[in-house]
Chains A and B, each alone.
Chain A
């Protein structure tokens, strides 16, 4: 399972400790996380399911390329980082 790590900024708003989640794409991994934390989805994704404009997601060192459908692949030993963008504050 991939490891998912969240910016501490998010913890100002809701409980979201780092966690492990299964899935072969970023979308699948996040959907597993959202099952336990449904409010988190609205913090990261807009109404259309795309990554919010001022949120960035990395798989290891690479930013996700598909911000609309989150189809970037994730391996079982990868780390998914959810950060706030430098813009948008």
Chain B
């Protein structure tokens, strides 16, 4: 059971430690600056923080002492456009994932406006994945919420790290079987109600808000999509919509139990222009049977006049599947150690929360 949590916020990175069953803030970094995402790399215990400085752009810092000190490393950079053409500039780091079981395998970074990058030297230099960037369909990608498309979920297959799935808002799910040398759009089954009727089932127009893979049953992945929840049990060859989730099937975040592919959690909201908890009551939706039935979990969560929204990276689960944590746009933060049956609020007022991740206890 993890005793470390990282919380990325509009005003810095917070590390929480669990002592005597209570989570407390024990370290702060980058106070005053937006931290959009972080990675606590289990392979070498390095910690990476992606900053999105309002004036000075995106930066990445690495810590080799668990966040006590930081060193600025390189940042993904888009190629300069030919004279007279409009070029692309990095807008945000939206995904950071180990690319394989060893440090030498590197790290993948997904970005807005839609480029996938990889580093093989612990962040010092980054390379654009040109096979995906130059894919002929990319001109059809479009932004969902953000002005430009973005890669927010990277799911490397633990059995074969050459087999990679990406989720893109908005360009659906993408697959590479060869470590990123070539890419194809994922299988059918998702529905996009924001498109004209004839184009709603096109895999390329889908807006998966978040995609997660079951660690011990890697063929099973869950997607919280703009138009509901979808699940695959054949490694994204096809998707099936999960119907009947209460109180809503709209949301951004999803977590799957690391050993039980039938168990997943979502944080529902009023769809999709309004985006706050249904009836002002914050709840977590849990299914334990692959989406046939669901529980609405609210014990310990505010049940009146609550307007907290939870972003796609702001729900985390640890390796036991019993501890979860999530944080909201209004800076509130909750944890559970019983799979969501009861929740405890962190008694602090944090800045708006972008991302939450359990960490190594080293």
Chain B, residue nearest A7 (CB): B55
Task: Give the contacting residue for B55; candidates A9, A47, A48; CB below 8 A.
Answer: A9
Chain A, residue nearest B79 (CB): A47
The answer to the question of A80 belonging to the interface, with a C-beta cut-off of 8 Å to chain B, is no
Residues of A within 8 A of B80 (CB): 47-49
Q: List chain A residues, Cβ under 8 A from B75.
A: 42
Pair B89/A48 contact, Cβ less than 8 Å: yes
Q: A48 to B86, alpha carbons, bound, how many Å?
A: 9
Rounded to whole Å, the gap between the CB of A58 and the closest CB of chain B is 15
Q: Do residues A43 and B56 form an inter-chain contact, with CB atoms below 8 A?
A: yes
Q: Give the complex CA separation of A52 and B54 in angstroms.
A: 10
Residues of chain B lying within 8 A (CB to CB) of residue A49? 80
Instruction: State whether the Cβ of B139 lies closer than 8 Å to any Cβ in chain A.
Output: no
Among B55, B56, B78, the one with the most A-chain Cβ atoms within 10 Å of its Cβ is B55
List B residues 19-66 near A (Cβ within 8 Å). 53-57, 59
Contact residues in A for B90 (Cβ distance below 8 Å):
46-47
Query: Do residues B72 and A85 form an inter-chain contact, with CB atoms below 8 A?
Result: no
The size of the chain A interface, using a CB distance under 8 A, is 19
Q: Which of B56, B59, B77, B88 interacts with A52 by CB under 8 Å?
A: B56
Say yes or no: A52 contacts B81, CB within 8 Å. no
Contact (Cβ within 8 A) B78 A54: no
Known contacts A13-B59, A14-B72, A48-B87; A89/B54 CB under 8 A: yes
Residue in B closest to A45 when the chains form the complex, CB atoms? B57
A18-46 contacts to B (CB < 8 Å): 39, 42-44, 46
Tell whether A55 is near chain B: CB-to-CB under 8 Å.
yes
Residue numbers in A under 8 Å from B79 (CB-CB):
47
When distances are taken between beta carbons in the complex, the residues of chain B under 8 Å from A48 are: 78, 80-81, 87-89
Q: Name the distance in Å between B122's Cβ and chain A's nearest Cβ.
A: 17
**A47 CA to B74 CA, complexed, in Å:** 13
Chain A residue with minimal CB distance to B88?
A47
A9 to nearest B CB, angstroms? 7
Is there an interface contact between A54 and B54, defined as CB atoms closer than 8 Å? yes
Once the chains bind, are B77 and A13 in contact (CB under 8 Å)? Answer: no
Contacts of B57 in A (CB 8 A): 42-43, 46, 52
Bound-state Cα–Cα, A55 to B55, Å: 6
Say yes or no: is A10 at the interface (Cβ < 8 Å to chain B): yes
* CB neighbours of A84 from chain B (8 A): 55-56
Provide the residues of chain A in CB contact with B59, threshold 8 Å. 13, 42
Least distance between B298 CB and chain A CB atoms (Å): 37
Contact A44 B56 (CB under 8 A): yes
Q: Give Cα A54–Cα B79 distance, bound, in whole angstroms.
A: 21
If A47-B78, A48-B81, A49-B80 touch, whether A13 touches B56 (CB-CB below 8 Å) is yes
- Kindly list chain B residues whose C-beta atoms are within 8 Å of the C-beta of A52: 55-57
Q: Which residues of B contact A (CB under 8 A)?
A: 53-57, 59, 72, 75, 77-81, 87-90
Interface residues in chain A, defined as those with a beta carbon under 8 Å from any beta carbon in chain B: 9-10, 13-14, 39, 42-44, 46-49, 52, 54-55, 84-85, 88-89
* 17 examples of A-B residue contacts, CB within 8 angstroms: A13-B53, A13-B72, A39-B72, A42-B57, A42-B75, A43-B53, A43-B56, A46-B90, A47-B79, A47-B87, A48-B81, A48-B87, A48-B89, A52-B56, A52-B57, A84-B56, A89-B54
7 nearest A-B residue pairs (beta carbon)? A48-B87, A46-B89, A43-B56, A47-B89, A88-B54, A84-B55, A47-B78
